[in-house]
Amino acid sequence: MKEEQEEQKLSQIKEEQEEPESLQVKEEPEPLQIKEEKEEHFISLDEECQDDTKPDKRPYACKECDKCFSQMCNLKAHMTIHTGEKPFSCKECDGSFTRLSNLITHMRIHTGEKPFLCKECDTPFGDVSSLKRHMRTHTGEKPYSCQYCDASFSQISTLKTHIRTHTGEKPFLCKQCNKRFNQASGLKRHIRIHTGERPFLCKECDKSFGDPTSLNNHMATHREVKAFSCKECGRRFTLISSLKIHMRTHTGENRFTCKECDRSYTVVSSLKTHMRTHTGEKPFLCKECDKRFSQLAHLQSHMKTHTGKKPFSSSVSSAGRSNKLLEVRPHHY
């Protein structure tokens, strides 16, 4: 009897020991399943955040154009191109931007921060794209080639401007006289003719100019050294460009020819002035009486009728007066 009881106890103990193992086996799949679910979750997130460069990972399509994106946030940012929405505003000025990254870059204009440093010359820049463009001045790289000629450029903006010399496109319009320009900078300079603005001031005297080139040319008149000498007549010049123009008086070269009447000129400014006789353009406006003139000299002479100042003093002879009139009014006008 005792042996039977002992055998029963042993069998019970064995069953009790085996039962937790069976329970543990049943419970194991649950944490494994949770782990697998987490792994699958992260895999799906990774798939959603793939680069837009992979066509098979672009489920978000723009309804306005055919462009597709892998992330909804990229699509939303792209849509601002079509809507014109600029939700990110600068607190320092009136600037607004489509992307937060563009606002952050813009803020460096106000803070003066320039975290991107050129390794060649230590010049700092506010954004990486400006640094990349600058690096081409060291490498000489010109990746943007003209499709019409052999010219190449380090910046795409310069290429676009150059292309207009072939196509004749002039997208920048003056609202005052309807004259068109192929560059925004050309329009800005032209607008100053109408406004009379002369923001470039000479530090040596009180003269001011409408563009930096005119100021630089004027500054040469203050320099004592005239390094460029004419071999024909010995006349000296502060600018080599002035010498080149002067040399045409000896060679008789007239490089700039009018397409309307075949007249030719030594400098392009004279041709531009002449062209107004054909177009009828009168860009110089009198603010006192709204009368227009084709030449600045004519406007300046006209302004004296409002100020009461006589254009020629009484001491000037009639012959001298005639000569001065010829200087102001060229014979082809």
pLDDT, tens only, 55-103? 557 888 998 888 898 888 888 888 888 888 888 899 989 888 888 888 8
Which whole number is the average pLDDT over 271-287?
88
The structure tokens 């004027």 sit at 218
Max Cα–Cα distance, the chain, nearest Å: 159
134 is written with which tokens?
């600058």
Per-residue confidence band for 331, with pLDDT thresholds at 50, 70 and 90: very low
Q: What is the pLDDT of residues 187-207, one digit of tens each?
A: 988 888 888 888 889 888 888
Identify the weakest region by mean pLDDT among 36-50, 103-117, 170-184, 283-297.
36-50
Pinpoint the residues of the chain covered by CATH 3.30.160.60: 58-113, 254-310
At 124, which amino acid appears?
P
**pLDDT tier, 142 (very low <50, low <70, confident <90, very high otherwise):** very high
- Quote the CA–CA distance of 107 and 111 in Å, as a whole number: 6
Paired strand residues for 89:
96
Distance CA 288, CA 304 (A): 11
Query: For position 6, what pLDDT does the model report?
Result: 56
First to last CA, the chain: 144
The C-alpha atoms of residue 38 and residue 42 are separated, in whole angstroms, by 6
Give the integer Cα–Cα distance in Å for 97 and 90.
8
Task: List 93's β-bridge partners, or say none.
Answer: none
Cα-trace Rg, the chain: 39
Under CATH, which number does the domain 58-113 receive? 3.30.160.60
pLDDT tier, 239 (very low <50, low <70, confident <90, very high otherwise): confident
What's the CATH fold of domain 254-310?
Answer: Double Stranded RNA Binding Domain (3.30.160)
Q: Which two tokens stand for residue 306?
A: 């409002």
pLDDT at 309: 67
The pLDDT confidence band at residue 329, using thresholds 50, 70 and 90, is: very low
Whole-number pLDDT of residue 160 = 92
Mean of pLDDT values over 159-178: 91
> Do 262 and 256 touch, CB atoms closer than 8 A?
no
